[in-house]
């Protein structure tokens, strides 16, 4: 993958990672470049060489069984595996996210 305005190479003590502009990936047409200014955190996905840029990390939560609405159709957003509506949380499918990133970069 090459670096673009939405994906950049970031050196880490344990190697390097592609840093994903998460708002760009999630928001699509509603994305505004000014959103990048709020990023303060990186969520590193071990073993994939990917880090997700985030403005904040609130807390770790346990998702109650049956609370997630899993998606069957992942054509429009392959990274979105499901949602937990009560907490406005997205369940990220890492394989779908990697596939979408590869597609955006090609």
Q: Are 20 and 50 in contact (CB under 8 A)?
A: yes
Q: Are 37 and 29 in contact (CB under 8 A)?
A: no
Identify the pLDDT of residue 8.
54
Walk across the sheet containing 89-92 and list its strands. 69-70, 80-84, 89-92
For 83-104, the pLDDT digits (tens) are 999 988 889 888 888 787 777 6
Identify the pLDDT of residue 57.
87
For 32-65, the pLDDT digits (tens) are 889 888 889 888 887 877 888 888 888 888 999 8
Confidence of residue 12 (pLDDT cuts 50, 70, 90): low
Confidence of residue 105 (pLDDT cuts 50, 70, 90): low
Confidence of residue 82 (pLDDT cuts 50, 70, 90): very high
pTM of the model: 0.69
Q: Are 11 and 26 in contact (CB under 8 A)?
A: no
Confidence of residue 66 (pLDDT cuts 50, 70, 90): very high
């Amino acid at each position: 993958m090459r670096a673009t305005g939405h994906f950049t190479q970031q050196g880490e003590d344990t190697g390097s990672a592609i840093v994903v502009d998460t708002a760009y990936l999630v928001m699509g047409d509603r994305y505004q470049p000014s959103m990048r200014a709020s990023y303060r955190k990186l969520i590193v996905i071990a073993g994939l060489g990917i880090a997700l840029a985030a403005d904040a990390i609130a807390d770790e939560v346990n998702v109650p069984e049956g609370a997630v609405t899993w998606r069957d159709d992942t054509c429009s957003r392959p990274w979105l595996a499901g949602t937990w509506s009560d907490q406005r949380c997205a369940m990220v499918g890492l394989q779908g996210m990697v596939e979408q990133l590869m597609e955006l970069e090609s």
